[in-house]
Amino acid sequence: MAPRNSRGKAKGEKKKKDEKVLPVVTDITVNLPDETRTVLKGISTDRIMDVRRLLSVNTETCYITNFSLSHEVRGPWLKDTVDVSALKPCVLTLTEEDYDEKLAVAHVRRLLDIVACTTWFGPSASTQDNAKSDSGKNAPGALDKTGKKVTTKSQATTAKQSSSSSSKEVLMEAEGEMSHSCPKLGSFYEFFSLSNLTPPFQFIRKATKRQIEDISENDHLFSLDVKLCNGKLVQVEACRKGFYNVGKQRILCHNLVDLLRQLSRTFDNAYDDLMKAFSERNKFGNLPCGFRANTWLIPPFAAQSPSVFPPLPVEDEMWGGNGGGLGREGKNDLMPWASEFLFLASMPCKTAEERQVRDRKAFLLHSFFVDVAIFRAIKALQHVRVNPDLLCSVGSCDILYTERLGDLSITITKDASNASSKVDTKIDGIQATGVGKKDILQRNLLKGITADENTAAHDIATLGIVNVRYCGYVAVVKVERREEKNDSPQSQGIELEQPEGGANALNINSLRLLLRRTSSSECSKPAAHLQTSECEELCVSQAFVEQMLEESLARLEQEELEQDHFVRWELGACWIQHLKDQKNTEKDKKLPNGKSKKLSLEKEMKVEGLGTPLRSLKSNKKKVDESNMKMQSKHSRSSIDGVIGEVEDATSASMESQHETTSKKNELALQRLLSDTAFTRLKESDTGLHCKSLQELIDMSQKYYIEVALPKLVADFGSLELSPVDGRTLTDFMHTRGLRMRSLGHVVKLSEKLSHVQSLCIHEMIVRAFKHILQAVIAAVADHEKMAVSLAAALNLMLGVLEGRDSDKSCHVHPLVWRWLEVFLKKRYEWDLSSSSLKDVRKIAILRGLCHKVGIELVPRDFDMGSPHPFRKSDVISLIPVHKQAACSSADGRQLLESSKTALDKGKLEDAVTYGTKALAKLVAVCGPYHRMTAGAYSLLAVVLYHTGDFNQATIYQQKALDINERELGLDHPDTMKSYGDLAVFYYRLQHTELALKYVKRALYLLHLTCGPSHPNTAATYINVAMMEEGLGNVHVALRYLHKALKCNQRLLGPDHIQTAASYHAIAIALSLMEAYPLSVQHEQTTLQILRAKLGPDDLRTQVSYQIQISSEFTFPFCVGAFESLTPL
């Protein structure tokens, strides 16, 4: 942060000195109550809150919940905000504290959470485990059940056979992972499962409160029944000092684990086995606990009871858990939202420090409002659903219900039951704002071209809107201002809190509506009868969906292709930035002579995306003066020529005068529409846009959109500066540049040489098209009992394989679905669907996208996408709300992140670390250390530190990011997937190759699930898998992965792309390890040719490749370093 201007020089020097201090890995010693100690690996910027987090993921202390931390100098009860760096020495003492009922319940919940991985996530990777255990029994030095070494004559032979079979298994596994087959959804949760272990206990239940003589009424909290793994039932009493067992041997312990360990040797052994498995799974942390049901595939344990959906311990209300978020109790529904948002817009924001204070207030207020708005919207929607008086036949946009709650206005409308209808759910659209289409277009464009660090926080109208789509209805929750005479907004001084540092934010999936209600009569029916009944239901529902599609198709075909000129405000911001960058680039060009300067001036006048060259607006007068001088020098011409010259001069002067008059009018018109500061900012941008009329600005912005923004997006896709892996990341990349998803057809046409980009765009268009069908089905089905079967029938119609009909043209797609999709994509995206487009469609990716966009939860089952009916009624479990809200964080923090990325790309590692550290500090201060928005800053800084060689610190940051992403974003979110891949490379560099391989294969599984095998990110991950397989001695397996990556990069990016060079280089290393030196040199020569052409001879990677190529033999450590310099994370 920059020092305050009002401070003296000494303060500025001190600030500058402090900025040079970068975080380092710190050992944090914690003395435990049992007189042992544990050493935690932290960062020097950590606080006591972070130490608590580290203790919760440490196998020695994860079961301890209610404690305080003290320091020999700072004293007892250290606050969460105390910096670890201020504690000298960094030695803390953990002191157990007394419980109240809430804390004691939370302690039980933690123990249930720790053990959940043994039962909740289905079978673990049992085949591999069994193979390892079988080979381990006969391995040299193995132990028998008594603990003695087993010795046999055939140990060497057995070991050789075991090694051979293990090698074959690795090869077979590699073939499966590299194949184009769909990933198995049934094994989605295997990565987190430890079902091969015996759970330490069978259940923990609350019992009727017992009367215990030794415990006073005031100290007694509640009673428990615990059934251990050996079947023994233990009665436990929770009291303020801890947990107390009932029986002959009465023991008081502060925590349940210690108590049960003393009572049962079986429990002790089972718990030790579990902790050992945690350590073997990942010795650095990332424990398989603390999860929430936040993914479109529900946990296997919940799938066993779909009508009840037993919650994971973290969300179990019986044990004090919930789905997260604020405002659940409804206490703050009547909060003065309007005045608080108004005060927010009036807060000082000139300096970075002021903006940080303002952004923190904005973030907390907006997060609180969004949570309250969603809860109130769901409550209102449930009221509408159960009220038959409101469910009469209404039009798709008629208002069913309105509610006013203080400053909150809630409006409920029915969703469209016609799949061709477009319901406006934009938070800045006509429906939400009540503003006309033309006014919205103008407002967004002006907002964009005058945007700065304060734009998002000052747009309180957009911040105060949340849109919720749920169960066939659309709810708009809006903050409405009351007209008040007092012009100066005042805050009510409400203290906004952020428990757990931003962790446990609202899990929208926890607000699910279960679709399965198993009746007693249904349970009594035989399985054959139920199957027949379900088939009949599916047939009836499919006929219903087909009829709905026919009506929609008829309406679509009558619809005229119209140009919808909606503008996202981000487009204006990117446009201004583009013009500034272009001008700065031209200024940097130093040309020697006057002729070159003239050419430079002409180039400056040609600004892409503008109707009139900008520089010409300022140089017309100069041109007129030059023409006058020329005419004076030719005074010897005839009088007729002189008259003509005077006429031309007068005409030019008149045009100049008219131009100036028009510019003045345009300026005045814009000044009336903009605030003084916004207009001044636009004028000082030196782009000339302040002289343009609104219509000119609209036309020029559209030209920039088509001629610059879209081609630039595709160019960034080609260079891999942007690499979307699914519809969500593709949408994010386009929206942040102000590009609309309706341009997907145009992007496909521009991406002719990027087949993976075309594939992603086509998949996203299909998902967005099919989304309308499912939303229409949900809106049209009145009977709740028929919702699941109707959705299953619709999914079968869209994703099943057609049988018994002519399906050559439609690639085994139902003719009606094919025709509807063909017309829809033409009308909405101006894209002509062909059968070749559907040949390589990944149906699992389509299914995943649909579940995200529509809000559907499914059982984790291996769906047979090659059958006519891959989905059953029982596969569809629930509907969840889908909401839209404005993004609110820190513009300064995001800018620092971009600066860090740019510095990293340019190889300026010191700058990258500095910017990354500042960005993280900014986002932690605004969003909290464990909020989902902060995870991206942890992840980026980890990558930057990795490139500096600080693998330990990089690993700690990336583990923080992964823990947040898994629990806050979802188990298959693109950020979660990236964290797995990055963390694997970090583990590899720390020489934990087996652990690295486990995590990189999880990343590969998710890549196959999202973007499939034909994607640059998948190819890069193949290279990383190969690197780790080679580290384990499986060179032949590594070579297979490398050849797969090479073919993929050649096909997708071309034979001369930098990533293709990385593949050649990696193969060269593998061949050298196999002592195939001539082939190795040949591949390295190809690498060198590509690098010289793309990067130049002076680039470090080119020089490394040259050094390797000229050497007669490779040295493995040197090659690995070079390898990683070419392999992106």
Residue-wise DSSP of 75-93: BSS--TT-BGGG-SS-EEE
CA distance 268 to 200: 8
Tokens of 133: 């255990």
DSSP 8-state secondary structure symbol assigned to residue 118:
G
CA distance 746 to 761: 10
What's 367-426 look like in SS3? HHHHHHHHHHHHHHHHHHHHCHHHCCCCCCCCEEEEEEECCEEEEEEECCCCCCCCCCCC
Element counts in the chain: helices (H) and strands (E): 42, 17
- Domain range annotation of the chain: 24-97, 103-139+176-300, 337-511, 522-562+740-748+762-878, 1015-1129
Rg (CA), the chain: 33
Same fold, 24-97 and 1015-1129: no
The architecture of the domain spanning 1015-1129 is Alpha Horseshoe (1.25)
Question: Which CATH code fits 24-97?
Answer: 3.10.20.90
- Chain center to CA of 770: 23
The sheet carrying 67-70 orders its strands as 37-43, 25-31, 91-96, 67-70
> Are the C-beta atoms of 694 and 714 separated by less than 8 Å?
no
Closest CA to 983 of 963, 966, 1000: 1000
> Are the C-beta atoms of 570 and 736 separated by less than 8 Å?
yes
> Are the C-beta atoms of 884 and 466 separated by less than 8 Å?
yes
CA distance 115 to 107: 13
Total-model pTM:
0.88
CA distance 714 to 708: 10
> Are the C-beta atoms of 720 and 754 separated by less than 8 Å?
no
Q: Counting every residue, how long is the chain?
A: 1129
CA distance 1047 to 304: 43
> Are the C-beta atoms of 102 and 173 separated by less than 8 Å?
no
> Is 47 in a helix, a strand, or coil?
strand
The sheet carrying 856-858 orders its strands as 513-514, 876-879, 856-858
> Is 190 in a helix, a strand, or coil?
helix
> Are the C-beta atoms of 115 and 201 separated by less than 8 Å?
yes
Closest CA to 50 of 15, 17, 13, 85: 85
- The reply to whether omega before 89 is within 30° of 0 (cis) is yes
DSSP 8-state secondary structure symbol assigned to residue 483:
P
Closest CA to 886 of 388, 160, 416, 370: 370
> Are the C-beta atoms of 813 and 905 separated by less than 8 Å?
no
CA distance 948 to 959: 18
Element (H, E) at 884: strand 882-884
> Are the C-beta atoms of 474 and 425 separated by less than 8 Å?
yes
Spatial CB neighbours of 479, under 8 Å, sequence gap ≥ 6 = 337, 338, 341, 369, 407, 408, 409, 460, 464, 465
Taking the CA atoms of 281, 284, 290 and 291 in sequence, report the sign of the dihedral they define. negative
The sheet carrying 473-479 orders its strands as 399-405, 408-414, 473-479, 465-470, 882-884
Q: Which amino acid is at 87?
A: L
pLDDT along the chain (1129 residues), means of 10: 39 45 90 95 95 96 97 95 93 97 97 97 65 38 35 39 53 59 89 96 93 84 96 95 88 96 96 97 95 97 94 97 90 90 94 96 96 96 84 61 93 92 87 86 95 94 96 95 62 76 95 81 59 86 96 92 82 95 78 47 36 35 42 46 53 71 90 92 91 94 96 95 95 96 96 95 97 97 92 96 62 89 94 84 96 98 94 96 95 96 92 96 96 96 96 97 97 97 96 97 96 95 95 94 95 92 91 88 90 83 72 39 38
CA distance 883 to 374: 8
267-274 contacts, C-beta under 8 A, 24 or more apart: 267/200, 267/201, 267/228, 267/229, 267/230, 270/197, 270/198, 270/199, 270/200, 270/229, 271/200, 273/197, 273/198, 274/114, 274/115, 274/118, 274/194, 274/197, 274/200
CA distance 876 to 515: 7
Q: Which amino acid is at 839?
A: K
